[in-house]
């Protein structure tokens, strides 16, 4: 019989009525403008809610050399009763399903230790020196998408206090890995850097997270300034949504590669 680990959690947001944010689809009024019944919980937050059973299955070695490939199938709303189940699959792979109270899959994915089979296909940015964000940015469209070009790299200071706050308040994860004396960076925070990286070069929104592929390469310690760099890989339309794909790299202060990512987002949402 296959082994499995699970976590149950009631989906939450700090203020689902807050329209004073870049992505108003994470607010009730903004989401309803696009035909959703309530604010959409951020995809990287929902992904992060599954990390406890992932570590039960794969161990903390996954943080040093392990991968995830996660797709966001339907929204998770505040108040949803979610169950994240990680089940042993073929070989060394484990399968994730995050389902709501109606039994609908909100998130599905695959996790494993080692190097991902898709890692060699990720593009590596040449421009890794952080640059400030200009006051005005071009609007991202299918026509202006800079296919094959580097995005503007960004410096991201992350204090130990902020790393603890993120894990405890946004991921409801009390593991001392993230909140102890020398906290590590929560995987949900790491996955969230790609949205901010694209916003460092382009103006767009509202948007919906569609897929994350993450290759961990080393434990990421809080209390340092990280560098996030990337390449704009693709842009396309599907069912009225406009999608962007970007490959990213997160570097420690000493230049070590902490993780590689491929991020797929709906940057122009079709009204339902």
Out of 64-68, 88-92, 232-236, 260-264, least confident range: 88-92
The pLDDT, as a whole number, for residue 261 is 98
**What is the dihedral sign for C-alpha 106, 110, 115, 120?**
negative
Q: How far is CA 260 from CA 120, 184, 213, 250, in A?
A: 10, 17, 8, 7
Mean pLDDT, the chain, whole residue set: 97
For 42-58, the pLDDT digits (tens) are 999 999 999 999 999 99
The pLDDT, as a whole number, for residue 222 is 98
Question: Higher model confidence: residue 272 or residue 47?
Answer: 47
Output the pTM of the full model.
0.96
pLDDT reading at 114 higher than 90: yes
Q: Indicate the pLDDT class of residue 2, thresholds 50, 70 and 90.
A: confident
The mean per-residue pLDDT over the stretch 10-23 comes to 94
The pLDDT, as a whole number, for residue 80 is 98
How many angstroms separate the first and last alpha carbons of the chain? 42
Cα 237 from chain centroid (whole Å): 21
Q: What percent of the chain has pLDDT over 70?
A: 100
What fold, for 4-114+125-268?
Thiol Ester Dehydrase; Chain A (3.10.129)
DSSP run (H or E) holding 29: helix 28-33
The pLDDT, as a whole number, for residue 50 is 98
- Scanning the structure block, which residue is given the tokens 């948007």? 207
- Scanning the structure block, which residue is given the tokens 């570590």? 55
The pLDDT, as a whole number, for residue 1 is 73
pLDDT reading at 112 higher than 80: yes
The pLDDT, as a whole number, for residue 53 is 98
For 169, residues 6+ apart whose C-beta sits below 8 A from its C-beta are 14
For 136-188, the pLDDT digits (tens) are 999 999 999 999 999 999 999 999 999 999 999 999 999 999 999 999 999 99
pLDDT reading at 272 higher than 90: no
The pLDDT, as a whole number, for residue 4 is 97
């Amino acid at each position: 019989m296959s082994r499995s680990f699970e976590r149950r959690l009631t989906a939450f947001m700090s203020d689902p009525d807050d329209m004073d944010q870049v992505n108003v689809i994470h607010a009730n009024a903004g989401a309803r403008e696009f035909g959703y019944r309530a604010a959409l919980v951020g995809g990287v937050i929902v992904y992060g809610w599954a990390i406890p059973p992932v570590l039960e299955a794969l161990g903390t070695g996954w943080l040093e050399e392990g991968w995830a490939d996660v797709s966001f199938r339907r929204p998770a709303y505040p108040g949803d009763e979610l169950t994240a189940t990680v089940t042993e699959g073929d070989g060394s792979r484990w399968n994730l399903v995050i389902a709501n109270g109606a039994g609908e899959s909100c998130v599905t994915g695959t996790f494993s230790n080692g190097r991902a089979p898709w890692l060699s296909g990720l593009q590596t940015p040449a421009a890794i020196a952080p640059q400030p964000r200009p006051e005005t940015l071009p609007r991202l469209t299918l026509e202006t998408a800079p296919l094959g070009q580097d995005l503007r790299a960004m410096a991201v200071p992350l204090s130990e206090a902020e790393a603890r706050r993120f894990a405890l308040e946004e991921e409801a994860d009390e593991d001392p890995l993230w909140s102890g004396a020398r906290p590590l960076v929560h995987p949900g925070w790491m996955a969230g850097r790609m949205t901010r990286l694209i916003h460092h070069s382009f103006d767009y929104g509202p948007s919906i997270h569609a897929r994350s592929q993450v290759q961990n390469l080393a434990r990421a310690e809080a209390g340092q300034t990280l560098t996030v760099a990337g390449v704009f890989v693709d842009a396309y339309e599907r069912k009225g949504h406009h999608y962007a794909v970007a490959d990213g790299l997160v570097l420690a202060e000493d230049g070590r590669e902490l993780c590689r990512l491929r991020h797929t987002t709906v940057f122009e949402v079709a009204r339902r």
